[in-house]
A and B are shown apart, each in its own frame.
Chain A
């Protein structure tokens, strides 16, 4: 299974943009890139996902490198409520439903007021 690598922690000032990187150099052509975030004492929640093109939704944007070996989750204007652990995972659409879905340790994002 392809793996992802993320920095352990990042800090950002409130109301400024945040760029959270993820490396996935062994990504396959059928892997979708998913991002989730986990607030303290809660289960993770879905943020965004994409395959090749950049994606936008009401929560964030996902920028995917042309070679797909890395991606960046962009929070356009961080608020204190965005403080969480962010996980980047790969989902193999060719193996959907038979996936040994694994999460790494993610990036702990701290927002400075």
Chain B
């Protein structure tokens, strides 16, 4: 079945450590997104990518970095510069230009906690 896979489901970070969250999709989608969700809050956009080797900052990009070397993969690194990283992280994808009405598909999320 096609879909988005996020791993790991739970992740713990030590002080000063960088951690990387994985997001893989086999939907042949061009666009991919990373969101952060704090308890009881909505989704806030961290980064998004329209196409391979290109990505844009969202509303809360500070302390995060991404790469888009392959169409199906969009990993998110939470760096030590992110002082409050504890949150639920969601990856999403969508078909891009030329395919209107396309809906967003979300992964099942990664819960990141600080030790």
Contact = CB atoms under 8 A, between A and B. Distances in A.
B33 A101 contact: yes
A41 B51 CA distance: 29
Contact of A96 (B4, B43, B100): B100
A45 B106 CA distance: 7
Nearest to A51: B101
A58 interface: no
**Chain A, interface SS category:** loop
Contacts of B43: 44, 87, 102-103
Interface stretch (B62-70, B72-80, B89-97): B89-97
B107 to A, nearest CB: 5
Interface residues of B, number: 33
Interface residues of A, number: 24
Contact of A106 (B42, B50, B102): B42
Interface of B: 4, 30-31, 33, 35, 41-45, 48, 50-51, 56, 58-59, 88, 90, 92, 94, 96-97, 99-109
Interface of A: 32, 34, 36, 41-46, 49, 85, 87, 93, 96-106
